[in-house]
Structure 1
């Protein structure tokens, strides 16, 4: 008996509807906020340049979440579904960062500073409700998604059973493979978020750091794609190169991979907060700090899990990684339902079952 097709079950449809409604509501709130701010501020000013970048990044996060939800249902990857939940942290940071960019005066002395003040009738008080709606909607959808994830856990467990059989070791190896693929996808989003903020908001185009950051973009993207191919196809030499490149990527400076990864992360974090560069990162500090730490931890975890997956190469899992899940057709015929000898035995990893002898 094969697994259900994509979106064929009640739990799958309910989960994707929840994520879609959340994305629509949040994107509408982001659009309203952008329109209100755009009508009153000049985005060419350095202080306000952060706002369109953050709003665009937040919208990208919602689109990415929707894509990841469909992809997780397609691959029956429950770990990837759980990885969608921390988005509310980014939504909460969005509120704080927008206030930091808009509110520049704590005491307006009764004068009309519609844009710069945070009191009643100001631009901040007008956009604040729309910004608060986003984390509230995400939090409410969390509860609904957790309920359906619990339902999908049993359903996906049955799907994995069809892929790798009843062998506990094969199941564990396949779970590590799913974790690896999930980490690669989230690495892409975090890297995109950090790079977008550094290039658009912070770095000067004539600086050496700007050139290094631009040069790192294709390197990291190629790294993630090649690593995904290597772990799926179990290509040892390509996986070895990917793991070595991860060490270089964690050092942030591709041309100087000898620099210790943790030292470089600490260097970037110190630059965010030290007095000489504090003003440069003022409106981006919170988001950059979170993205930098999360990106490093994700890449470090990907390297560790990659080593674990590399150890599982040539142990009989490659066919399960490459082949798609067998899906059950919507309609059955009497002939197909009685032809048991043609079915595959999940207990034997897909080996044909011998014809049964019936005693009547």
Structure 2
């Protein structure tokens, strides 16, 4: 297994090797730098928390302190999620290269550019946590008197992160374009010249890719919601969130993956039903955020953002699942199962089984041609 993985990742074109190197370097460099940012930010939030005893007798100052502390506390979770996103993009990159999934490579490029946007946003968060945020200047002055750089000490690290993300975003976009051209022949070998079958395979690839990104965004929302909101509420709401968000989302993703792989319509119907339940929950939470803003103090903007992304992903996933369902029993399952069989019988090498004989396929540049599923 590991030999086959190494052969596919390191034995193919140099564009694939460079893409993996870019992804590895980005994951390592950004995670380390963001770790420094997290450490500085955690220290800043800890120092800010000490002002509660100094302002508790002044309602105006206390309200200002509450706003600052809530925002600072919520930002800690997003630093952790940003680090987690680096490992997620690395896993997605390895998976896309192993399976030669061009759709997934394109989606990953967009995901990395989104990470670049967040790296720029967090600079604004650091510089506006205490100043220029509409809070009375008295509490700001009180905090700045103790530490005039708090929490701007993290800005140098954040600037370097922006530079790293910008370089990796541009590099990976170029490499994804080159790999898109290379992997096109692989799809032709698996599916053939039938354009209708290739369109079905494309829908299958998009659906599998969406399920993987659903996992990240659904779990990211669940983690931040539990950490920033629900954990402070009653046990009843914790149970509601775990059942409706975590279990339902995870269960429906597993059912969807299983259903599209085996072309079982019952499983796809269950998946689509799960999508509807999850979408209803996300809409309910968006309304709750709007109606009860005090409950989401310091987290409202980001919770609304993640809820919106999850809602949009759910709608797109539901639509693509319907299109995949329409393609059942039209021959795609045969091509996918044959690809698995050829890969396993080839012992990690690419082969076509024809008349009970195996023939190795070589590319023009003498690299072994790759076979994969999605």
* Coarse TM-score class (shorter-chain normalised): 0.7 to 0.9
Structure 2: 5+ residue stretches without partners: 1-6, 50-68, 362-374
Q: CA deviation at 1:329?
A: 8.8
- Contact kept in structure 1, 2:37 and 2:154, CA below 8 Å: yes
The residue number in structure 2 matching 1:228 is: 257
Describe how 1:1-360 pairs up with structure 2 within 5 A. 5-8=8-11, 9-42=13-46, 47=70, 48-84=72-108, 85=110, 86-99=114-127, 101=129, 107=137, 113-114=143-144, 121-203=148-230, 204-206=232-234, 208-216=236-244, 217-252=246-281, 264=284, 266-271=286-291, 277-322=292-337, 323-324=339-340, 326=343, 342-343=358-359
Q: Does the C-alpha gap of structure 1 residues 179 and 150 become closer, same or farther in structure 2, counting only changes over 3 Å?
A: same
Distance 1:115 1:166 in 2: 71
Q: CA deviation at 1:313?
A: 0.4
Q: Does the C-alpha gap of structure 1 residues 89 and 320 become closer, same or farther in structure 2, counting only changes over 3 Å?
A: farther
Q: CA deviation at 1:52?
A: 3.0
Distance 2:137 2:343 in 1: 65
The residue number in structure 2 matching 1:348 is: none
- Contact kept in structure 1, 2:286 and 2:307, CA below 8 Å: no
Q: Does the C-alpha gap of structure 1 residues 129 and 279 become closer, same or farther in structure 2, counting only changes over 3 Å?
A: farther
Q: CA deviation at 1:219?
A: 1.9
> SS in structure 2 opposite 1:283?
coil
Aligned residues: 320
Higher helix share: 2
Q: CA deviation at 1:312?
A: 0.4
Distance 2:216 2:47 in 1: 25
Distance 1:96 1:188 in 2: 28
Q: Does the C-alpha gap of structure 1 residues 232 and 90 become closer, same or farther in structure 2, counting only changes over 3 Å?
A: farther
Q: CA deviation at 1:67?
A: 0.5
Deviations along 1:315-354, whole A, 9 cap, x unmatched? 111133343374989999xxx9xx9974499xxxxxxxxx
- Contact kept in structure 2, 1:54 and 1:94, CA below 8 Å: no
Structure 1: 5+ residue stretches without partners: 253-260, 272-276, 346-360
Q: Does the C-alpha gap of structure 1 residues 191 and 156 become closer, same or farther in structure 2, counting only changes over 3 Å?
A: same
- Contact kept in structure 2, 1:177 and 1:231, CA below 8 Å: yes
Deviations along 1:251-302, whole A, 9 cap, x unmatched? 01xxxxxxxx7x536514524xxxxx43443432332222111111101100
Q: Does the C-alpha gap of structure 1 residues 113 and 329 become closer, same or farther in structure 2, counting only changes over 3 Å?
A: same
Q: CA deviation at 1:90?
A: 3.1
TM-score by length of 2: 0.75
Q: Does the C-alpha gap of structure 1 residues 58 and 109 become closer, same or farther in structure 2, counting only changes over 3 Å?
A: closer
Q: CA deviation at 1:235?
A: 1.0
Distance 2:214 2:140 in 1: 48
Deviations along 1:167-204, whole A, 9 cap, x unmatched? 11111100100000000111111111111111101223
Deviations along 1:36-75, whole A, 9 cap, x unmatched? 2334432995624323311211111111011001011111
